[in-house]
Chains A and B, each alone.
Chain A
């Protein structure tokens, strides 16, 4: 059984006098123990909302409705009361966020921000907690950890801050780590370091990783399985290699095609997907991607496309998928080793 099984998850924000906004509209995917799973899509496709819904961290406001299931190790997270959720968060499921500066409390030393997790979930206090915190900082590659414990977030560099956040997330050896765009706010060189660190931690501890990103380079370098999200639904699921070699959904094809390439000629134009994510959710009659789709046919309008499962364990939501063999070569093959 999968470690995390998200089934038909939907999130709507309703406001009095306004049409309800569907941020996530029936997302299903699963994460196996120790697996690295990618959740990929453009801004506004519902990636972050999905992760926050799983964690129970969506802003509590009237009109928020979360439907479906998110079963973690046999328990439906969405049905838990606030206390049980707090027990699981940080201990069994931990999360890393996008902007390391704003994600750290500016007025509290790094040390306390690490030890408070240890105190909460592992009952560690005082010197023992401080020692463990220093060991954690050391493990995520922060030099001179004892001194850093006394410092404040503004005294650390961006990469160090993200390392500190990772240290807090892995403090209780969670079984699932959710990383929401963990490298977006960082310099490219630092990005590579952080991804390398995450990879290493996942490999060493056997923690499963749900990687939320819009960056296909991150996916190519890390993920075992990839879920492509569009308009609040998963439109394609596949293992990494087949996905890059033979994308079936036209949206995945578009995503891969829009990555700028170094080996492209100077005069060659970039290749974006035309249009933008429409906020026409729930899915209208037919495919939400149809208005932007290059392979659009008459059948695309009318019925929303069903998920098609193929014999090799892939699935896609399209009535006119890209034919096999795929036309787009897998990028950066050498990085996948």
Chain B
């Protein structure tokens, strides 16, 4: 098990190396070069030359690449051209918000999706089945930002149950430790701060959870239907086991394999795709920041973001593979 984890973490190295090469080439191939990206169209030839010298762009390409890699290893992702702050600092401030949001959304999607998918399969052809299959189709179709606005209008502006924007009430003056607001509140025992941060998470998390929820419902349903027809379920029934034992031990566990795979992929997707939700709820996560960076052509930020997402994907998939080996002994890792 330990060797497997180490091996998979080592696989990160070639992945990141390949990615760095791509990013490096991308940076070089920008129309007009990086200096145009910084100066825009209006830079004079002298200014361009100055920037090229400053950035070391007049040196041999291999030297440039070496320096690029060295900086990456030191986690020096450069300075954001729009905020003039270190990209690393920006990320440390903003990434935790997105992670919090994604985790909450996934908890909702998994916690509701798996039971619902299971029930739909057991009540196949009846009302609950049709309702959840139809509902999941709607869940996939509705654009996240639209659902976000609807949720906001109903639960925040009309009913005033939940706050409509932000990550926390700034008047609380909560202490920051990790920038995971809920975690910070728990660590510093500022319970009201933790609760408030959690409260702010509810609506955006529901909006963000809609698509993964729908996918999980469908995959769970299909998978349970398949497992219900397996011979070993019949064996379990023939043993006279209670329905509950058959369900938990024999059906659900086997049905979880495809669901685990999709959960991994979905979680990775949410981390990089929370842009719309964050924008709608003015939630200061990485998504909204990156969306802005795209508009501003803030290349250092974009590069850093791509790198982080790559690392996250590899890590999430590592977790999925590990969970696989807990669920299924046949793929148990050595």
Contacts and interface: CB of A to CB of B under 8 A. Distances in A.
Interface in A22-75: 55, 57, 59, 62
Contact of A120 (B241, B250, B328): B241
B44 interface: no
Interface string A110-143: 0010001100110000000000000000000000
A57 B231 contact: no
A103 B242 contact: no
Given A103-B235, A104-B235, A88 B254 contact: no
A234 B203 CA distance: 65
A194 interface: no
Contacts of B239: 89-90, 94, 116-117, 120, 168
Contacts of A120: 239-242, 245
Interface in B233-275: 234-243, 245, 249-250, 253-254
A91 interface: yes
B240 A102 contact: no
Contacts of B125: 62
A326 to B, nearest CB: 38
Contacts of B240: 85-91, 117, 120-121
Contacts of A107: 253-254, 327-330
Given A87-B240, A105-B254, A107-B329, A97 B235 contact: yes
A152 interface: yes
B249 to A, nearest CB: 7
Contacts of B238: 55, 57, 89-90, 94-95, 97
B231 A103 contact: yes
**B238, B327, B329 — most chain A CB neighbours (10 Å):** B238
A251 B232 CA distance: 34
Given A86-B241, A120-B245, A152 B235 contact: no
B226 interface: no
Interface in B297-312: none
B234 A97 contact: yes
Given A86-B241, A90-B241, A105 B330 contact: no
B245 A116 contact: yes
B192 interface: no
A106 interface: yes
Contacts of A95: 238
Nearest to B228: A59
Contacts of B234: 57, 97, 103
A174 to B, nearest CB: 10
Nearest to A89: B240
B292 interface: no
A83 to B, nearest CB: 9
B157 interface: no
Interface of A: 55, 57, 59, 62, 82, 85-91, 94-95, 97, 99, 102-109, 112, 116-117, 120-121, 152, 154, 165, 168
8 closest pairs, A vs B, by CB?
A90-B240, A89-B240, A102-B231, A90-B239, A105-B232, A95-B238, A152-B329, A103-B231
